[in-house]
Amino acid sequence: MNEAIRLTNVSKSFQQKTAVNHLNFSINKGEIVAILGPNGAGKTTTISIILGLLKPSTGDIHILGQDPKNKTVREKIGVMMQEVSMMPGLKIHEILTLIRSYYPSPRSLKDLIELTGLTEQDLKTQAEKLSGGQKRRVSFALALAGNPDLIIFDEPTVGMDISSRNRFWQTIRALAKQGKTILFSTHYLQEADDAAQRILLFKDGKIVADGTPSEIKSKITNQTVSFSLDSDMSFEKLYQYPEIQQITRNNGRIYVNSTNADKVLAIIFQEKLGAHDIQIERGKLEDAFEQLTSTNKEVI
C-alpha cells in the first residue's frame, strides 16, 4: 500500500461556515507536499482533520490505511504546529528523553541532534527560557522523536533565519529519501516552489490546483514571447492578430503577451519579422497563485 493519506469527499462546517468543501486527494509515501493558499482557505482545518484533531462533517479519511484516531497511526505521525507549549521547569534533553519514551521505536537523541541542529546549549536550556529559534529546533526534534512515517508541519519555517531554514529543508529532503511522507502548509510561495514536489493550492475550502510547482505555473494562461528584431524590421503587423493581447517594447526587445504562445511563434515566422533570440516566459508561481486564488476570476 503506497498511500500515506487519503481524503474522500471530506467537508467540514462550523455553524454556517463551510471551512472545507468536498476534498478529494491522496498523498503517496515519500512525497513532499505543500498546502498553499490565502488566509481562510482551509489549510489548518485540513491539517487538523488529517491529524484526527477535528472530526469532518462528512467524508472519509485514511492515514497509512487506517482511521487517523487509531493509536498505531498516531504513533507514526510527527507534528510541528505553530504554537508549541513545552513543560516548564524541564531542560530540553529531559523533555526529549520523556517524549521519546512514549514511542515504541524512537529515534536516538544523537540522531535528533544531527537532524535538527540542536546544540549542547539548547539541550541544557529550560523550556521556558528558549529563544524563538531554539523553540523551532526543539519542536522539530519533538516532531521527529518517534521516528514517524508521516510528518506534518504547519508553517514550519516562520521565525527561522536563512541558515536554519536551509538546514531544515535539507533534513526534510533526506527524510523523504528515507521514504517519509512530508506535508506542510505555507504562505511562502517561494518555499512551496523550492521545497515541495507537489502543491495543493487551496481556495475557499477547495483545491483549485494540484500538481508539481511547474505544472501549477503552467496553468498561468498568459505567456510572454519576447524577441529582438533586425534593425530594419517592424513589428506593427502583429497588431492585426486577435490572439495577441499586448505588445510592449523595452531595451530594444519586443514583448508579446498572449494566451497562446505557440500561435504567437507561428505568426512571428509567418510574417517573416526577422525575430531572433526568442524567449518564452510562462510566468512565476506568484502569478499562478494570484490567478488561481483571485476572487474575481474563474479558476481551472
Ligand X SMILES: Nc1ncnc2c1ncn2[C@@H]1O[C@H](COP(=O)(O)OP(=O)(O)OP(=O)(O)O)[C@@H](O)[C@H]1O
Applying CB under 6 A, the span of 35-43, 86-94, 245-253, 268-276 interacting with ligand X comes to 35-43
Q: How far apart are CA 56 and CA 67, in angstroms?
A: 12
The answer to whether 45 contacts ligand X (rule: CB under 6 A) is yes
- Distance of closest approach, residue 84 Cβ to ligand X, in angstroms: 16
Instruction: Using alpha carbons, select from 207, 215, 197, 187 the residue that is nearest to residue 288.
Output: 215
Closer to ligand X at the Cβ: 31 or 154? 154
Q: How far apart are CA 288 and CA 279, in angstroms?
A: 19
Closer to ligand X at the Cβ: 39 or 296? 39
Among 5, 10, 19, 254, binds ligand X (CB under 6 A): 19
The answer to whether 56 contacts ligand X (rule: CB under 6 A) is no
Among 4, 27, 41, 254, binds ligand X (CB under 6 A): 41
In this structure, how many other beta carbons lie within 10 angstroms of the beta carbon of residue 124?
10
Among 14, 72, 215, 279, binds ligand X (CB under 6 A): 14
The answer to whether 44 contacts ligand X (rule: CB under 6 A) is yes
Closer to ligand X at the Cβ: 181 or 293? 293
Closer to ligand X at the Cβ: 45 or 147? 45
Q: How far apart are CA 152 and CA 33, in angstroms?
A: 10
Closer to ligand X at the Cβ: 146 or 205? 205
- Distance of closest approach, residue 47 Cβ to ligand X, in angstroms: 8
Counting beta carbons within 10 angstroms of the beta carbon of residue 110, is it exposed (0 to 12), middle (13 to 18) or buried (19 or more)?
exposed
CA angle 125, 131, 137 (to 5 degrees): 80
Applying CB under 6 A, the span of 39-47, 142-150, 236-244, 276-284 interacting with ligand X comes to 39-47
Task: Map the footprint of ligand X across residues 181-210, applying CB under 6 A.
Answer: none
- Distance of closest approach, residue 40 Cβ to ligand X, in angstroms: 4
Q: The cell 536516538 sits on which residue?
A: 108
| Cβ within 8 Å of residue 101, ≥6 positions away | none
The answer to whether 17 contacts ligand X (rule: CB under 6 A) is yes
The answer to whether 39 contacts ligand X (rule: CB under 6 A) is yes
Instruction: Using alpha carbons, select from 259, 279, 268 the residue that is nearest to residue 218.
Output: 259
Element (H or E) spanning 222, and its range? Answer: none
The answer to whether 37 contacts ligand X (rule: CB under 6 A) is yes
- Distance of closest approach, residue 14 Cβ to ligand X, in angstroms: 3
The answer to whether 42 contacts ligand X (rule: CB under 6 A) is yes
Closer to ligand X at the Cβ: 2 or 16? 16
Count of residues of this chain found to bind ligand X when the rule CB under 6 A is applied: 11
The answer to whether 107 contacts ligand X (rule: CB under 6 A) is no
The answer to whether 43 contacts ligand X (rule: CB under 6 A) is yes
What DSSP string runs through 54-111? S--SEEEEEETTB-TTSHHHHTTEEEE-SS----TTSBHHHHHHHHHHTSSSPPPHHH
CA distances from 279 to 164, 216, 225, 227 (A): 36, 20, 6, 6
Q: Which residues bind ligand X (CB under 6 A)?
A: 14, 17, 19, 37, 39-45
